[in-house]
Amino acid sequence: MALYLKKVYELSENGDPLGKELVKNMINTKFYDRLPVLLPKNVKIAHKTGNYIGVVHDVGIVYAGRPYIIVVMTKNVKNEQTANKAIANISKTVYDYVVAQSEKDID
């Protein structure tokens, strides 16, 4: 999934109409209960959720100061809400790390 999203990001950034449309659709989702929920509201995120019996996923491109790709996939899920919160916490931890590294690069 990370390699797929990397290609989507590259296509979109290089002006490919299909890449841009896919990113636009992924940004305009109705599901904000995982990767984006704990991120600042001004941070754009193109993501796709997935659910099946015992699994909860969210994968995305986070357009922070330094854009990055994040993929969180679970298994053996007993409680979907708990999995959603775990994915949100992982997303926030990664976001905070990326922002901190970006600030170090500036200094």
Give the tens place of pLDDT for each residue, 16-53.
999 999 999 999 999 999 999 999 999 999 999 999 99
Q: What is the pLDDT of residue 75?
A: 95
**pTM exceeds cut of 0.75:** yes
* Position 63, amino acid: Y
pLDDT at 107 exceeding the cut of 70 = no
Enumerate the domain spans of the chain. 2-106
Burial of 84: CB neighbours in 10 Å, binned 0-12, 13-18, 19+: buried
Element (H, E) at 58: strand 55-63
CATH entry 3.40.50.300 includes domain 2-106:
no
Residues 6 or more apart whose Cβ sits within 8 Å of residue 91? 34, 35, 36, 37, 38, 39, 58, 62, 70, 72
